[in-house]
Homo-oligomer: A and B are copies of this chain.
Amino acid sequence: MRIALDAMGGDYAPEAIIKGALLAAEQLEKEDEILLIGQEEVVHSLLKEYGYTGQNIKVVNATQVIGMAEHPTKALSQKTDSSIAVGYGMLKAQQADAFCSAGNTGAMLVGAMFSVKTIEGIIRPTIAGFVPKLSGGFGVILDVGANAECKPEVLEQFGETGSIYAKYVLGIENPKVGLMNLGEEESKGTVVTQAAHQRLKNNPNVNFVGNLEGRDLFNDKADVIVCDGYTGNIIIKMAESIYEIMHEKNIKDPFFDNFNYETAGGSPILGINGNAVIGHGVSSPLAVSNMVVLAQKMISSKISERFRKNYSV
């Protein structure tokens, strides 16, 4: 498989990204490739500096860089030779099986919709996050930032797409789906969550277990946590900050260590014609390496095709 990686995206790019690529390369099969996209000389000189001599990493030139704070749509239309534009171009042309970037999140999202585009039947693509479970492993939470506001039918579809992801990528049979809410009773919550609850309850493709409360995030009540991007983003960032505080306090625990953003490595964009993963802006080499591993799992599980099949009419 060929995994395209944006060498220029992220607060610590290109150094951290290229170091991450080297870590990931050690875990790849002989025939697998990491396609490092960025300013050729810069990337080559760093690979040399880090003493890379292997065959798994190839460099693809992209002369421009989209800054972390740039306006996504404007940047993408103006910087057609930016690493993100080139990466999505390769994904669309099937010169890459996945594209990973720790760069501008908005540009990654807009780039996906402009290039490989949303799968027909998917109402809104979503960014998925991961929540560690006390019983081990991770649950998937969606959305974590692509859609601040969601209609009931969008939340319902998150239950479907989250289930497909949990089954084929996380390997959870008949994943339990819960709706984030402020109470267990189905009458609780906003007009939107009340309507979404009814839709999920009546959806034959979803193993709906009902509403979840803030205290249910880490227990076994659900494998798929459905919420709007506003709520999911707050939950994920709160969990990250808990880890950072523990880290500073030198509190070590296998469960809480999974709150570390580096463990998951990145957040997949679900519902597009291709595999794309968005990394944390502060991505370290370890995070970048795990982002590549996440992309590998998505490729080998054929998750994008499974979405397409599921929604094709």
Contacts and interface: CB of A to CB of B under 8 A. Distances in A.
Interface of A: 134, 145, 148-149, 180-183, 188-191, 193, 213-219, 229-231, 233-242, 244-245, 249, 251, 253, 255-256
Contact of A213 (B182, B214, B234, B239): B234
26 contacts: A145-B182, A148-B188, A148-B190, A148-B193, A149-B190, A149-B191, A182-B234, A183-B233, A189-B230, A213-B234, A214-B239, A214-B240, A214-B241, A215-B240, A215-B244, A216-B241, A217-B238, A217-B241, A218-B241, A234-B234, A234-B235, A235-B238, A238-B239, A249-B255, A251-B251, A251-B253
B230 A214 contact: no
List of 7 A-B pairs having minimum Cβ-Cβ separation, nearest first: A214-B237, A214-B238, A182-B233, A215-B241, A214-B234, A215-B237, A149-B190
- Among A149, A181, A214, the most chain B Cβ lie within 10 Å of the Cβ of A214
A37 to B, nearest CB: 26
Contacts of A183: 233
B235 A214 contact: yes
A189 B234 CA distance: 11
Nearest to A238: B214
A240 B234 CA distance: 16
A238 B255 contact: no
Given A181-B230, A215-B240, 7 more contacts: A149-B191, A189-B230, A214-B235, A214-B239, A216-B241, A219-B241, A249-B255
